[in-house]
Amino acid sequence: MSAVEVRVVRLDHATDLPLPSYRSEGAAGLDLLAAVPGGEAQEIAPGASGLVGTGIVLDIPEGYEGQVRPRSGLALDLGLTVLNAPGTIDWDYRGEVKVLLVNHGERPVRIERGMRIAQLVIAPVVRAALIEVSREELRATERSDGGFGSTGRGA
């Protein structure tokens, strides 16, 4: 597996937290940690959302992006997920990485300092060059303009 170098700044409110890391040999995402103030958990009520800082700033290389994705265990166990999944961190953004979480569960969720709240995947970006054409110039497909559910529902 190849690696791309991503420079990271640990902000003052996260100096005691470890940097994001891969939890297994085959993991695609680095676990992002909550940098809420010590002893002051951030609570997200059922149906509510909350913005949680990670205490890091990334210097992603040009031509790449950071994708902030949910952690499946949090979604399964607590109903907590990333609201705008996947969230995008553009290569030229130099602010604190924050995660927008939503609680779809039935109970409040306490976000504790150092809690693994999301995953960060670094991925290459391919930009599109849009070329305007007439409808007749589009390539024909079997699906054509069939939209939601047009390829079947369920298994």
pTM of the model: 0.87
| Domains of the chain and any CATH numbers | 7-128 (2.70.40.10)
**Distance (Å, rounded) from C-alpha 101 to C-alpha 52?**
7
Q: What does each of the 155 residues of the chain score in pLDDT, given as a tens digit? A: 789 999 999 999 999 999 999 999 999 999 999 999 877 899 999 999 999 999 999 999 999 999 999 999 999 999 999 999 999 999 999 999 999 999 999 999 999 999 999 999 999 999 999 999 999 999 988 877 767 766 666 66
Give the C-alpha distances (Å, rounded to integers) separating 20 from 34, 46, 56, 127, 141: 10, 27, 9, 27, 43
